[in-house]
Amino acid sequence: MTAATNHSWRPSDSLANRFRLVRADLGLTQKEFGDLVDIPAHQIQTIEDGKAGRHLDVKVKKIALALGVDRDWLMWGGSLGEGPTNRGPDGGESGADQRPPHG
């Protein structure tokens, strides 16, 4: 008896891939992305190469605040089908991750 083979494929849920995904979605080079989020391009490249580097939590927070990307998703990943949420652990609005209104 042979085991059924699952032929579905999904990209690796890694920090490097999540960075690439966000950058590609914006259509930016590493330099343009770094300039936008105030992180040197060589540090973006290091993360995208799979090397976390120093102060990763600070870099992820900068990106989340600058672009409105869900900080927890960017740092830890999750299901590809899930959308970002502003809900805190108790189900209420999370003030820490909300962006201020523009205007």
Mean pLDDT of the chain: 77
Domains and CATH numbers, the chain: 15-77 (1.10.260.40)
How many angstroms separate the CA atoms of 83 and 4, rounded? Answer: 31
Q: Answer yes or no: is pLDDT of 100 > 60.
A: no
Query: Do 29 and 36 contact (CB within 8 A), yes or no?
Result: no
pLDDT digits (tens, 9 = 90+) for 10-63: 667 889 999 999 999 999 999 999 999 999 999 999 999 998 778 999 999 999
